[in-house]
Structure 1
Amino acid sequence: MSDYVEPAEDLGEAWLRTLELVHARGGRRVNVLTTITDPLAPEDTAVRAAIDAVLVPGPHNEQKERLDQAADDLYATYTGMLPLLCTADGNPRGTYFGRMVSWPGKEAGGYNQLAARVRYLRNEHRAGRRRHNLSDIAVGGEAEPSEDHTAALQDVGVQVYAPTDERQRGFPCLVHIDLTLLDGRLSMLAVYRHQYLVTKAYGNLVGLARLLAFLAQQTGFEVGELAVQATMADTQQDHFGGRKGIKALIDSARNKGG
């Protein structure tokens, strides 16, 4: 049976009345007539905002192309430098970011976990899903992704080490990154098995924050919370003047902060 929506002056009100009518009559109707008496009337911003909040449109094509190009340039530049970076002191087994963009992280051509997460998050954004527990980014371990990279989000994540692995500590200290989407905000948890609080921790936080900002920029979500879990947090007092040395560092930082 046909339905007639009471005419409205602007398109927002007309849309809303139509939605209300169809919803009240079961959610599906045929031959529904909606009339807008002044199609050029200013939009109702409240109606527009409500629609946008539900649809959560992804980046426009031109914006997406710019983001893709920027990301591709970053990946290519970094992976091109990987062999050289691996010769630097402290990097003989690769780098954190190298493992993220070219797993297992010693040369170009590996599996790009970040690019896969960006594609996945964009699909979530496009579908309007704003709450989701997402997958991991592998940093520790030696796992290989499956042949089907669309399924690799679940295949490469928290690593299981062999029973014969007796290492107490070593690269990488950062072993796991987890991404979670809640109310349109992308949050990150990073797990370190040994966090050097003087020589490494601040730089790690800067890097993680930039990584989270990059993922949010590439996918259209807002930046949420960044959390770091250190299974061992180390002030390194033996190398920085003992407890007095660390206290002096704290006092200095606090005074500058004030």
Structure 2
Amino acid sequence: MHTITVDAPDISRAWLEACTRLSEIPGKKAFHTMVRIARPLHEDPHLRAELDRLRAARTKPPLYPINTVVNTLFPAALAATCTTHEQLSERYRAMYPRLQEIRRNTHGTYFGRLVSYPGTPDKPEPVDQLARVIRRLNMLRTTAKWSAVYEAGTAHVTDGDASAWPDELAADEPAAGGAGPEAVIRAASLDTQTLDFPCLSHCSFQFDSATNTVHLAAYYRSHYMFDRAYGNYLALGHLCAWVARHAGLTPGTVSVMSGCARLECTKSELGALQDAVTTPLFGLGA
């Protein structure tokens, strides 16, 4: 089995190093890849401009602009006009039905699942999972007792028995709709298609009490590196920063694991991107 692990100081070098490493593997495919980004909102402007140019030149099939990919996971432009998470959530949920009328959003969007996860017949009200994560971080950051109970995962948001959790978490559950310490991307009753949405399976926020920092780890079952990964990495950086800001914390690293990562660009496209980067690609510690 081929695999890669990348540590880089910013999103541009992390993404380009991962693509370069994949290009050296037979079939340009690797399993259980790990990409860790120290400053996930920092970009190399020259590499980003060249990537935008190459993507725009693709016509068969056409590729969405990177900002469009970003917005499926985090609506950065909308968030910039909101002062609270509640305001962002309410505005997004109001427009969510219209977004789902767009063909590519038929099954929903990642951010839609985070702030408006579909309810059940018993509890039909959609669940704002990010609000729960922010609430828990706010509540527990002063105690420094829990580091890894801020999840977006695989169980249904209404599963679990709050009586089995620490008192601090159990007390929070009535306001969260009875859910456990996980919030969900995939809805088993809705997501029966084999391909496409949702490729993102899990998000997990870790609180580092020593530095008052929140880190984000994400798992993708499959990743197309040229088509989606750069926009996905950038969106995860925005998501981590948003949660940190509203929990009164500092945003930290983003780590992305892919069950299977594929490089689907040409040798000439990759060469142009390598030439565009303004800082040497390798040997830069995080």
- Into which bin does the TM-score normalised by the smaller protein fall? 0.5 to 0.7
Question: Larger Rg: 1 or 2?
Answer: 1
Tell me if structure 1 keeps the 8 A contact 2:117–2:126.
yes
SS in 2 for 1:171: coil
Deviations 1:72-129 (A, max 9, x none): 2211111111111112232110000000001039xx951000111111110012x331
Which structure ranks higher in relative contact order (CA pairs < 8 Å, sequence separation ≥ 6)? 2
In structure 2, the partner of 1:120 is 136
Gaps of 5+ in 2: 1-81, 160-172, 281-286
Tell me which of 69, 80, 85 is aligned to 1:71.
85
**1:157–1:96 distance in 2 versus 1, CA, 3 Å:** closer
In 2, distance between residues paired with 1:76 and 1:150? 17
Counterpart in the other structure of 1:81: 95
Aligned CA distance change for structure 1 residues 130 and 218 (closer, same or farther; 3 Å): farther
Q: CA deviation at 1:232?
A: 1.2
Aligned residue for 2:204, secondary structure, equals strand
Partner of 1:247: 270
- Over 3 Å counting, the alpha-carbon distance change for 1:249 and 1:71 in structure 2 is same
- Out of 131, 135, 145, the residue aligned to residue 150 of structure 2 is 135
Pair 160,109 (structure 1): closer, same or farther in 2 beyond 3 Å = closer
Shift of 1:208: 0.7
For the 8 Å contact 2:204–2:217, the answer to whether it is kept is: yes
Structure-1 residue corresponding to 2:256: 228
Identity %: 26
1:186 alignment partner, SS class: strand
**Aligned 1:173-212 pairs, distance under 5 A:** 173-182=199-208, 183=210, 184-212=212-240
Q: How far does residue 189 in structure 1 lie from its aligned partner after superposition?
A: 0.3
Q: 1:196 to 1:71 in 2, by over 3 A?
A: same
Q: Using a 3 Å threshold, how does the CA distance of structure 1 residues 204 and 233 change in structure 2: closer, same or farther?
A: same
Matches of 1:188 and 1:111, distance apart in 2: 21
Contact 1:145/1:156 (<8 A) preserved: no
* Counterpart residue number, 1:102: 116
Distance change (3 Å), C-alpha of 1:190 and 1:253? farther
- Residues 130 and 181 in structure 1, CA contact (< 8 A), matched pair in contact too: no
State how far apart, in whole Å, the 1-side matches of 2:187 and 2:91 are: 31
- 1:257, CA displacement in angstroms? 5.3
The separation in 2 between residues aligned to 1:80 and 1:166, in whole angstroms, is 26
CA apart distance, 1:204: 0.8
* Gap change, CA 1:170 and 1:177, over 3 Å in 2: same
Contact 1:117 1:153 in 2 (8 A): no
Deviations 1:165-198 (A, max 9, x none): 9865331010100111122211010101111111
Match of 2:104 in 1: 90
Distance 2:203 2:83 in 1: 25
- Report SS of the residue matched to 1:90: helix
Counterparts of 1:161 and 1:88, CA distance in 2: 22
Aligned length: 178
